[in-house]
Chains A and B, each alone.
Chain A
Amino acid sequence: MIEMSGAGFIGVTTYSEDSELLLELLGAGRRLADKLGVPLSAVLIGNVIDEEKRKEAIRHGADKVYVVEDPKLEAFGVEPYRAALLGAVRDVSPEVLLIGGTKRGKELAPRVATALETGCMSDCVALDMDSERRLVGRRLTYGGSTIAEVACLKKPQMATIPPKAFEKPAPSERTGEIVSLKVELPESKVKVVERRAKQQATFRIEDAPIVVSCGRGFKKKEDVKLLEELAEVLDAKVSCTRPLAADYHWMQEWVGLSGHKIRPKLYIAAGVSGTIQHVAGIRDAQTIVAINSNEEASIFNIADYGIVGDLYKVIPALTKALKEKLGK
């Protein structure tokens, strides 16, 4: 535990309008609260918050649950939600405030941070308290090609956390306090005319479990057929690096810094050199396989398995081996 006071700011507080993400925040928050030796709380905001949601937060680690209920909070609007969260935070005066990094959370957090004249570290994928009682976060910068370590020097120290960055803690039967707060709320200045559920018709490469990609090692567009045959056996999607799409127009879209960022179970890169711009798009792939004729290619440094060889020979051999092994 850190032996130093929070100077009038006490505890770790969490908020997300997404109830799954809130539990992940409680997981991240619990660790920080334990390190600081302070309580962990959750703020729940809405028209009516049901009993189960309050208990769920306690089961997942909250010592206190603050509830702000008001008919103006029926649907998310940044002005009333800002006022509700700000009201709760002013009341609680936490040392650390974590907000779920959904799009709504990320339009809310800077508003609250500005009203409190403090800093907010966006999209932290790791968080810790250092020996000086500073909240230190790790977050992607430069389009995803680098990771920055940042610290919040003012209190409350704020961060937003993207979904799935932290584990949801296992629920346990524990006790906690539930406090209802009354906050004066404005009407929303932005009128929602229409809400449309997203159409899921278009396939997103982000959802493909296996992706095979070609890079400049391919000599001409027709050769991509080799990769398509491999993709068929694997039930995979085919993609490419930026030059092939943006410069040569072989495909519409690409994987990388300026393209799609994917996290498939398996990523096979053929004829891909492995610039940091491309790597930014595949950083979170579970397993990376690289095929390249240049054994010095930097793609091999970030691959789990590499085959040094001519892709025009290796890919057909791989397709054949897969057919045999997988019985297709």
Chain B
Amino acid sequence: MVNIIVLMKDIVDLTEIKVDPSTQRPILAGLSRKISDVDKRAVEAAVQLKEKHGGKVVVVSLGDDKTRTALREALAMGGDEAYLLRDPAFDGSDTLATSRILAAAIRKIGDYSLILCGEMTLDSLSAQVGPRISELLELPQVTYARRVELKGDKIMAERDLEDEDEVVEVSMPALVAVTREINEPRIPALMNIMRASRKPLQEWNCAALGIPSEEVGAAGSAVKVLEVKAPPMERKRIIIKAETEEEAAKSLVERLIKDGVLK
């Protein structure tokens, strides 16, 4: 038996992002949202462990009303309960404040032996929330896990580092951050989607979590986003004009040789 808490985030669909040419800012309004890819694999990993060893999977997400759709999807994949952490006071939270909110929710849920999350969410790419929660809850952490197995009251995991792979063993309770290589998330069957609508989904706000409001949201954050732009690239932007394809090709090859790109 293993009770697992999975932390997940629903983010804008990155493949839909377009750039406003006049401001160079990404247009994010109106984009559809989905569970961040690596987080979805954390949900899948949790469900697979539950199917093998018994127990339950609790999914937790900090978000807004739309996040309910993502939580329902996680429930359809095999999650048992869901918690939506939602409060206007949470707006503008950086990784520090986000971790405080999630850690408070984990403490309130209480009954767990494993916390799973993705190594990073694909919108912010920070890769900080997992380790920060380990610090707040004083839990051992295993990051970059591409394989997770249960062995008695221990977790065995294979970690994917730059120069080497590490097989590690850790006693539970522990936090494990997984990579996208860990699995292929399932597509829930219609029956399970219908069942998921009856599973418990509870909402907690700042007061329910007992966090002072100055510790969350923009007030409780240390990192402020000043500007987000689709970066301009410094490129030559030379269009090669010629009468025939052959001449254009020759001219291109000459320029590449002259630039030292080709030898």
Contact = CB atoms under 8 A, between A and B. Distances in A.
Interface of A: 78-79, 82, 102-104, 106-111, 113-115, 117-123, 136, 139-154, 189-198, 234, 242, 257-258, 265-266, 276-277, 279, 283, 286-289, 295, 300-310, 313-314, 317-318, 320-322, 325-326
Interface string B211-236: 00000000001111111111101011
B164 interface: yes
A304 B237 contact: yes
Nearest to B171: A189
Residue among B132, B230, B231 having the largest count of chain A Cβ atoms under 10 Å? B231
A123 B124 CA distance: 11
A322 B253 contact: yes
Contacts of B224: 150-151, 153
A192 B167 contact: yes
Given A78-B141, A287-B259, A305 B246 contact: no
Contact of A283 (B142, B229, B233): B233
B235 A320 contact: no
A117 to B, nearest CB: 7
Contacts of B109: none
Contacts of A189: 140, 170-171, 174
Interface stretch (B14-22, B60-68, B78-86, B189-197): B14-22
A102 B163 CA distance: 10
A146 B128 contact: no
Nearest to B230: A146
Range, interface on chain B? 35 or more
B45 to A, nearest CB: 18
Nearest to B247: A317
Residue among B95, B134, B235 having the largest count of chain A Cβ atoms under 10 Å? B235
Contacts of A307: 239-240, 245, 248-249, 252
Contacts of A325: 250, 253-254, 257, 262
B127 interface: yes
Given A78-B131, A119-B94, A277-B15, 10 more contacts: A136-B226, A140-B125, A189-B174, A191-B168, A193-B167, A198-B165, A305-B255, A305-B256, A306-B240, A317-B244
A305 B228 contact: no
B143 interface: yes
B135 interface: yes
Nearest to B257: A325
A123 B249 contact: no
Contacts of A289: 252, 256
Interface string B82-100: 0000000000001110010
B203 interface: no
B99 A114 contact: yes
A142 B14 contact: yes
Nearest to A289: B252
Nearest to A312: B245
Nearest to B248: A307
Contacts of B184: none
A189 B259 CA distance: 54
B26 interface: yes
Contacts of B263: 326
A141 B28 CA distance: 13
B236 A305 contact: yes
A158 to B, nearest CB: 9
